[in-house]
A and B are shown apart, each in its own frame.
Chain A
Amino acid sequence: MSTNAPTAVHALSDVAASDSTLRRFLHGLPGVDAVGLEARAASLGTRSIKTTAKAYALDLAISMVDLTTLEGADTPGKVRALGAKAVRPDPTDRTAPSTAAVCVYPDMVATAKEAVAGSGVKVASVATAFPAGRAPLSVKLADVREAVAAGADEIDMVIDRGAFLAGNYRKVYDEIVAVKEACGTSARLKVIFETGELSTYDNIRRASWLGMLAGADFIKTSTGKVAVNATPANTLLMLEAVRDFRAQTGVQVGVKPAGGIRTAKDAIKFLVLVNETAGQDWLDNHWFRFGASSLLNDLLMQRQKLATGRYSGPDYVTVD
């Protein structure tokens, strides 16, 4: 998959010239009022999406899922099962769309690639010493190169939160640039901020811009491995960031909330956020993803309910 995002953004190329210019730029971004941000996210959550809009939203959400298994206990069998489900999520209804991708650890990329071969479903891999990111850069880059060599279409990298929180923005920037380079032209790069650890909304906005300046194709909330993962508010904030970034640079960047989105109702709320914040241009799985494992089944059950008028129950969707 080629990408239209250049590695350095020309319009803002001198921003990253030094640690101090980068810091000045990031700290000069408009502040975020937490109360106002959360109120806006909550008010968009009251949109009533039903009938035709709901059918559209459910299929769109299914097509945006990065079906994920990130367990120490993952086996080739488990990954193959996940791949089959990504390609054909509802065996009882062939009209259900495929998910966007399956997301696995680097050592499972080849297996996953085989499982989804020919389907158009991408393979994403969490490289860069996921989820802590506490490894030397050389190790992280080797992790990425292995995953890309095994056929990963997308790399989900975690940033060095320690460096970010220490104010060492340039280090974070350089690592993203290096990883982006290691992705080459074949893999798109998703940059995970672990928003729960960044703690403030101002930090999340700064991290978003930092990631985009360094060449991220996607910005992603979290690993799903900490207490606070994707929320409507932090996703709204990141949507504002990609919207503003495109307005300034012409470069479009995708957004991926991950972790904790379990129900169709929640997923639809996120789609409303996309629709009313970044806009139509992001309502496509090239630009918006859900990092989730259990969300898909609820989307499928809601889809069956809409088609038949009845709730089926968990035995009518597959467990993988």
Chain B
Amino acid sequence: MEKQTPVFEYAPAPESRAVVDIAPSYGLFIDGEFAEAADGKVFKTVSPSTEEVLSEVAEAGEADVDRAVRAARKAFETWSALPGSERAKYLFRIARIIQERSRELAVLETLDNGKPIRETRDADLPLVAAHFFYYAGWADKLDHAGFGANPRPLGVAGQVIPWNFPLLMLAWKIAPALATGNTVVLKPAETTPLSALFFADICRQAGLPRGVVNIVTGDGRAGAALVAHPGVDKVAFTGSTAVGKEIARTVAGTRKKLTLELGGKGANIVFDDAPIDQAVEGIVSGIFFNQGQVCCAGSRLLVQESIHDELLDSLKRRLSTLRLGDPLDKNTDIGAINSAEQLARITALADQGEAEGAERWSPACELPQNGFWFAPTLFTNVTQAHTIARDEIFGPVLSVLTFRTPDEAVAKANNTPYGLSAGIWTEKGSRILAVANKLRAGVVWSNTFNKFDPTSPFGGYKESGFGREGGRHGLEAYLDV
């Protein structure tokens, strides 16, 4: 009866590219129209998994940013005067169009960002639609949000978002801004501008009044111009801590309101009574979701010493089943790193971890020839003194540290300049509550990780920024309260 079994090889299952029609070039979206940059500059956006050029996109200069802010200012007068129930109608319409076009948008996002289709399809797009639905529901209930009667919008919101969740970060920024009566000028990341431009088309499809949403594509200079523009009343930024500090300096002393969602070095704490198999899954989704390019990633694994070896064996076995490759393949778990620049940064930090004496491990895994790839990587024997335990790597690199007591776990988890996320794994409910109360992090997940919901506020402590997005709290950043 015993026989040699052939290997269960999953045949390639690529999602069709035909569902998305990418134009050879795109302009800026200002006052309801697509337009070239004033000085005619363009840049290319490439697919990180193949390095294929997807499209050429207009590069906004100061004049273009100025035009966009003026358009938003003009639109603000009428948009903010609409009854909340009217604004809600537009937001609901946008949410429904996103659902209808979700397959197209998922493929587009995977092409432009490099993340696996199973993440864009199963995580990003459902959340994008959910954010618009959620804030649409708030638009006519602002009087009851706990900010007093008749809270007023701020005016023009200048929003700068990162490349790791291009469309989701857009939704986090635009949905609450519009629900509260603000108008926006949004600058998507230089490496992932396409889904924001498709969103511009969705705004037109939804009949959104001109100028309420404006999209200016470009690099950091366009972002800096937007942040510094005197016509902007509110700045919202998600991205690196270094840029966040720069923005804080620019905005300091002006009347502009500011919220920052910056880096993180999340601790994922596994106690010895944890549900081991589910903890392993949580560790995997904590650091390998979106190739670890997540600001709230659980990049520091704190394991109780007594189960260190057992847990690491399980984790390594699990990592060996991760499938890396074509992000459009529905069976791919790990896609491409977003850019050559990001790959170089991850590589340098991982090399430094090795040089400082941490033990490096990756599963046997073939990397594609073209594109930007980094194998899932574990570092064991890491201490708080290692660079890889302190600096945000923003890639699929997990540092494993150990602890002996709950107090030590809390001390180590909090011993970081960041404070965005943390995770606790234990079967003991009282320990979850006790430890969560002591962790200086904006989000603490228990027996799960990297779960998002529009009703749940998200934001950081310390160098992870300030302000909250999502939930009722997320309204505050866009209201004069």
A280 touches B11 (CB 8 A): no
Contact of B275 among A30, A39, A60 (CB under 8 A): A30
Contacting residues of chain B (381-437) with chain A, CB-CB under 8 angstroms = 427
- Bound form: Cα–Cα A39–B2 in Å: 33
Q: Which range contains the number of B residues in contact with the other chain?
A: 20 to 34
| B148 CB-CB contact with A under 8 Å | no
- A54 surroundings in chain B (CB, below 8 A): 11
CB distance from A166 to the nearest CB of B (A): 23
- B276 surroundings in chain A (CB, below 8 A): 30
| B447 CB-CB contact with A under 8 Å | yes
Contact of B13 among A32, A48, A275 (CB under 8 A): A48
Contacting residues of chain A (12-70) with chain B, CB-CB under 8 angstroms = 30-33, 35-37, 39-40, 46-54, 56-57, 60
Contacting residues of chain B (109-129) with chain A, CB-CB under 8 angstroms = 118, 122
B8 touches A286 (CB 8 A): no
CB distance from A151 to the nearest CB of B (A): 17
CB distance from B259 to the nearest CB of A (A): 31
- Bound form: Cα–Cα A56–B7 in Å: 9
A53 touches B2 (CB 8 A): no
Given contacts A47-B331, A48-B13, contact A53 B427 (CB under 8 A): no
Number of A-B contacts (CB under 8 A): 77
The interface stretch among B198-206, B277-285, B345-353 is B277-285
| A1 CB-CB contact with B under 8 Å | yes
Given contacts A1-B1, A46-B330, contact A36 B9 (CB under 8 A): no
B8 touches A52 (CB 8 A): no
- B9 surroundings in chain A (CB, below 8 A): 52-53, 56
- A36 surroundings in chain B (CB, below 8 A): 275, 277-278, 281-282, 447-448
| Binary per-residue interface labels of chain B (270-310) against chain A in the complex, 1 for a CB within 8 Å, 0 otherwise | 00011111100110000000000000000000000000000
CB nearest to B13 among chain A residues: A48
B273 touches A40 (CB 8 A): no
CB nearest to A37 among chain B residues: B278
- A32 surroundings in chain B (CB, below 8 A): 275, 277-278
Contact of B2 among A47, A280, A286 (CB under 8 A): A286
B277 touches A284 (CB 8 A): no
CB distance from B249 to the nearest CB of A (A): 43
Given contacts A31-B275, A39-B281, contact A280 B8 (CB under 8 A): yes
CB nearest to B284 among chain A residues: A40
| Binary per-residue interface labels of chain B (1-17) against chain A in the complex, 1 for a CB within 8 Å, 0 otherwise | 11101111111010000
CB distance from B253 to the nearest CB of A (A): 48
- A240 surroundings in chain B (CB, below 8 A): 277
CB distance from B291 to the nearest CB of A (A): 17
- B331 surroundings in chain A (CB, below 8 A): 47-48
| A271 CB-CB contact with B under 8 Å | yes
| A276 CB-CB contact with B under 8 Å | yes
| B321 CB-CB contact with A under 8 Å | yes
Name 16 A/B residue pairs within 8 A (Cβ), A-sorted: A1-B1, A30-B277, A33-B427, A36-B275, A36-B277, A37-B278, A40-B277, A46-B330, A48-B13, A48-B331, A52-B9, A56-B6, A283-B8, A284-B5, A285-B1, A286-B2
- Chain A positions near chain B (C-beta within 8 angstroms): 1, 30-33, 35-37, 39-40, 46-54, 56-57, 60, 240, 247, 271, 275-276, 280, 283-286
8 A-B pairs besides A40-B277, A56-B8, A60-B8 with CB distance below 8 A are: A31-B427, A36-B275, A40-B278, A40-B281, A49-B11, A57-B8, A276-B321, A286-B1
